[in-house]
Chains A and B, each alone.
Chain A
Amino acid sequence: MLMKLARLSLWNRRGTVLMTWLSLTISIALLLGIDHLRTEAKNSFTSTVSGTDLIVGARSGQLNLLLYSVFRIGNATANISWPSYQRIIKHPQIDWAIPISLGDSHRGYRVMGTNTDYFSHYRYANSQPLVLAQGKAFERVFDTVLGAEVAQKLGYKLNEQIELSHGVGAVSFSQHKDKPFTVVGILARTGTPVDQTVHVSLEAIEAIHLDWQQGAPIPGRQLTSEQTLAQDLTPKSITAFMVGLKSRMATFTLQRQINEFKNEPLTAILPGVALAELWQMLGMVENLLLLISLLVLLAALVGMITTLLASMKERQREMAILRAAGAHPWYLFVLIQLEVLLVTLLSMLSAAALLFISLYLLQDKLAADFGLFISLQIVKLTSLYWAGAILLLSAVLATIPGVLAYRKALADGLTIRL
């Protein structure tokens, strides 16, 4: 009967209840959404690189190095000369090294020059290797392997010809038009920036810049693809390289040795530490967002209590009838609590549905524009904690009209003051 009373009483006031439900739904969806996004973003961030012990680049801050080498955000300040690279990787503790050469792009997607070690040693998430969904790794100079996102968004198939652009903007005025590349492989989706990368060999990067000087083609010295192949394509420099060690114990020793490298100023970073620092920076923003959504939720809950308080006046008759029929004032208190909990619970369910639908619709866009790979798994332990906290908060706030009903019931007796 209590449940029936609560349910029908809410239905009786469905106009205001509907608005309350709407505002609660939106604010709860906002809160859960932001919470979900931040955990997912963190996962997405920290899973971009794994198994790499050190990342080495020209002397710079560790965040800058991490951002351009792993996330393809920003640019390197300087390069590492090829002889230095060769010398360092001869270190007995180094198991493998992946050279990275950046600076060109293809229709907004970054081009990364590397070698085939990349496909065998690079790891992401829980030490997962890269897998070719179609084709094979590059063999010839003008071969390219595309990330899953690049192939999907631009609709590229195997054996298609693509041209690279100089620089990293989506629109570039200087194209490497004379030297087209052939798509020989497409990687399986990883949920990391690898998906948005066009991979070519280091030799290819060298080849397309042979007839260039200081960022522009040298006039009157155009080489065809065939002519280039005849030249010495050993790279003169690379942007950065990733290192895997034989023993993790050597990480700090090697890091110090690289940082003190005499021939050239270099920086070696531990990706895990750099990722943590990056996340700490983003954490500020994320906490602020969470705080704002908490306040929005609080406002919605206070709104609900306000409408409840406003309705108490017109419900005096109802309360008096219940009292006359033998209801204890506690019963009225519980009735109001139940109404609040019903609305909150209903709002939480619809908020979860709203969140799921919006994530489902936004999933691709978030992945494409921000490199954030958000799962649709919104029901997890933290969201259950949130649900519990929201219910508790609404119950606490509902004591205000609840106590009011209780006290009025005691004071007014059976008289109805209209």
Chain B
Amino acid sequence: MTDKPKIPAIDLKQLQFYYQSGGWQLHLPELTLHCGQHLFVRGASGSGKTTLLNLLCGITRPVSGELYVNGQPLHQLSSSARDSLRAKHIGVVFQQLNLIPYLSVLDNALLSSHFASQNKTDSVSRAKTLLQRLGLQQDLWHKPATNLSVGQQQRVAIARALLPKPTLLIADEPTSALDSDNRDAFMRVMLAEADANGCTVIFVSHDQSLTQYFHYQLDMQQLVKGVQPC
């Protein structure tokens, strides 16, 4: 999308991960993703998708290799430094049940900016604009999150992920619980908001039909072979 000579959003080299107990392991030779690129990662369950996402958002630490997110060496940072990096630079959207049931819609959206220690009043006004742009009207903001439909909940999750203006948005099958109409609306609004924020997107799914929204796509099998997105 952009050809500015900037630091890549994601840059990983010879990344290895396995559990102490042995057995299964994940090895990623190389992947570079530039700012603003949207990548679709396709893979069946068990192919290491979840591990990849955990590595990318700094929840798990790679056993060996290098991983830079936004220029920061994630493989060297302490766990709390990785947590604050995630709070500030990485937004995460899950498959479903993204919201804390006892918090209001607005508070759910504000969670990420809270952990990114951003200014409260500023965050509130930005969260309101963001929610509005995502089609969530004012009357919903103070309702408990559980009162919303699944589609609405997923949009609140996008608002939360994008609120701290992250460089990277990671989505783990966020449309799997949506019907096709909702799914299309969701994809459009998510990618539009990501673009508006200049955000890099990694979208993981096994739904082949979603590839139409992405310029770049990779299979997990290609990823482990070190094929670059094109």
Contact of B100 among A318, A326, A328, A331 (CB under 8 A): A318
Contact of B54 among A317, A330, A414, A416 (CB under 8 A): A414
Q: Is residue A324 within 8 Å, beta carbon to beta carbon, of the partner chain?
A: yes
* Cβ–Cβ contact B83 & A328, under 8 A: yes
- Tell me which residues across on chain B come within 8 A of A320, comparing CB atoms: 94
- Tell me which residues across on chain B come within 8 A of A328, comparing CB atoms: 79-80, 83-84
Complex Cα gap A328–B87 (Å) = 9
- Tell me which residues across on chain A come within 8 A of B80, comparing CB atoms: 328, 330
- Tell me which residues across on chain B come within 8 A of A324, comparing CB atoms: 57, 86, 92, 94
Binds A, one of B7-15, B27-35, B106-114, B127-135: B106-114
Complex Cα gap A415–B80 (Å) = 19
- Tell me which residues across on chain A come within 8 A of B191, comparing CB atoms: none
Across the two chains, which residue of chain B brings its CB closest to A13?
B102
Q: Is residue B60 within 8 Å, beta carbon to beta carbon, of the partner chain?
A: yes
Q: Contacts A326-B86, A328-B80 given: A414-B100 contact, CB under 8 Å?
A: no
Give per-residue flags for A108-150: 1 if the beta carbon is below 8 A from chain B beta carbons, else 0. 0000000000000000000000000000000000000000000
Q: Is residue A8 within 8 Å, beta carbon to beta carbon, of the partner chain?
A: yes
Give per-residue flags for A326-354: 1 if the beta carbon is below 8 A from chain B beta carbons, else 0. 11111100000000000000000000000
Across the two chains, which residue of chain B brings its CB closest to A412?
B59
Closest Cβ of chain A to B95, distance in Å, is 9
Q: Is residue B116 within 8 Å, beta carbon to beta carbon, of the partner chain?
A: yes
Give per-residue flags for A1-36: 1 if the beta carbon is below 8 A from chain B beta carbons, else 0. 100110011011000000000000000000000000
Complex Cα gap A324–B107 (Å) = 15
* Cβ–Cβ contact B115 & A413, under 8 A: no
Chain A residues touching B, majority SS: helix
* Cβ–Cβ contact B103 & A414, under 8 A: no
* Cβ–Cβ contact B103 & A317, under 8 A: no
Give per-residue flags for B45-83: 1 if the beta carbon is below 8 A from chain A beta carbons, else 0. 000001001100101100000000000000000011001
Closest Cβ of chain A to B196, distance in Å, is 21
Contact of A327 among B54, B83, B110 (CB under 8 A): B83
* Cβ–Cβ contact A414 & B102, under 8 A: no
- Tell me which residues across on chain B come within 8 A of A189, comparing CB atoms: none
* Cβ–Cβ contact B111 & A325, under 8 A: yes
* Cβ–Cβ contact A325 & B103, under 8 A: no
* Cβ–Cβ contact B111 & A322, under 8 A: yes
Q: Is residue A107 within 8 Å, beta carbon to beta carbon, of the partner chain?
A: no
- Tell me which residues across on chain B come within 8 A of A5, comparing CB atoms: 100, 103
Q: Is residue B98 within 8 Å, beta carbon to beta carbon, of the partner chain?
A: yes
Complex Cα gap A416–B172 (Å) = 12
Complex Cα gap A327–B85 (Å) = 10
Closest Cβ of chain A to B96, distance in Å, is 10
Closest Cβ of chain A to B4, distance in Å, is 27
Closest Cβ of chain A to B130, distance in Å, is 15
- Tell me which residues across on chain A come within 8 A of B57, comparing CB atoms: 324, 414
A-B contacts besides A4-B107, A326-B115, A328-B79, 8 pairs, CB < 8 Å:
A321-B94, A321-B99, A322-B111, A325-B112, A325-B160, A410-B79, A413-B54, A414-B94
Give residues in A with beta carbon < 8 Å to B. 1, 4-5, 8-9, 11-12, 317-318, 320-331, 410, 413-416
* Pairs across A and B, CB under 8 Å, 29 listed: A1-B110, A1-B111, A1-B114, A5-B100, A12-B101, A12-B102, A318-B101, A321-B100, A321-B111, A322-B100, A324-B92, A324-B94, A325-B114, A325-B115, A325-B160, A326-B84, A326-B86, A326-B87, A326-B88, A326-B115, A326-B116, A327-B115, A328-B80, A331-B115, A413-B60, A414-B50, A414-B54, A414-B59, A414-B94
